[in-house]
Amino acid sequence: MADAQTFEHETRARPLWGGPPPGWRARIYRIAFEADTPAGRLFDKVVIAAILLSVCIVFADSIPRLHARWARHFLFAEWGFTALFTAEYALRLVCLRQPWRYAKSFYGIIDLLAVVPTYLALLFPAIHVLIDVRVLRLLRVFRIFKLTAYIAEYQQLAVALVASRRKIAVFLASVVLIVVVLGSLMYVIEGPTHGFTSIPVSIYWAITTMTTVGYGDIIPQTPVGRFVTALMMLLGWGTLAVPTGIVTSEIALQRGRGPESLDRATRGAIGLSPTPPCTACGEVEHLPRARHCHACGARLPRAAEAQPEPTR
């Protein structure tokens, strides 16, 4: 009984960023922050389309030939997108009890960066004296980061990354150790006369060699140094495959077991809620405090309703 009460308490956690006060702001909150409702899904689709189109315009405006021909159209489109994203940002702030918490969050900062450059160019026309406005406008590419909040596959990747974080940390620590050891070894083998002037410079060479970048600014000259270089190149190919294999295997495991098998820390880190499965379609992946299924739109049962009756 205690477990059921604890589970129900966790499923009724406070809404995001303090939640909305009752009334019209609660309706805006359901549209802007709850993607499991029909209005919320439509809102997200409009935002996604606007993000993609605005980023495409930024890319196209950076091409001199297109900029010379369509500069005026790009400007009108940019102001249209800026007005849209400004309204979205204002709606998200106005519907929250604690808007400053959203403003300081990752997506709140991205929302702000998406609209600031256009207003700076308008308020400070002479800003080009300090910085090229076209470079400043590249900040609008940050809009693309907001897509991660709406893509379901991002959640699957987040599950795999969080679940395999310790394995990845061990792997990165091993790579750092190998780079330090081999870099120091090359400093002893080659020495300052061949460009390996210090251990940090040798470690820099080891990193560029192991990652198969190889700028060519430092080249081993001795036979032993070249042998170590060839060994590091072959080792580099293997190091590229290891993290891919770790994450891929974790994705396969999570798909086989389902999100209900994740521990509570992992579920909390990726934003999965402990809500019970949808009674209409059986979907189990729902956002925290979701009231409707994002797959079919049916209302989700409460935790207490989903608990089986105890046998006597």
Give the residue-averaged pLDDT of 189-199: 89
Please give the single-letter amino acid code of residue 223: P
**pLDDT given for residue 11 in this prediction:** 34
Three-state DSSP at 299 gives strand
Q: What is the pLDDT of residue 134?
A: 45
**0.75 exceeded by pTM:** no
Mean pLDDT of the region 202-220? 86
In this structure, the number of other CB atoms found within 10 A of the CB of residue 228 comes to 19
Which residue type does 5 have?
Q
The phi and psi torsions of 299 (rounded to 5 degrees) equal: -75, 135
Residue 209 has pLDDT above 60, yes or no: yes
Q: Which domains does the chain show, CATH number per domain?
A: 2-150 (1.20.120.350), 161-270 (1.10.287.70)
Q: Highest mean pLDDT range out of 139-143, 278-282, 300-304?
A: 278-282
Tens digit of each residue's pLDDT (9 = 90 or more) over 35-61 = 667 888 888 888 888 888 888 887 888
On the 0-12 / 13-18 / 19+ scale of CB atoms within 10 A, 133 is middle
pLDDT at 244: 82
**Mean local confidence (pLDDT), 60-85:** 88
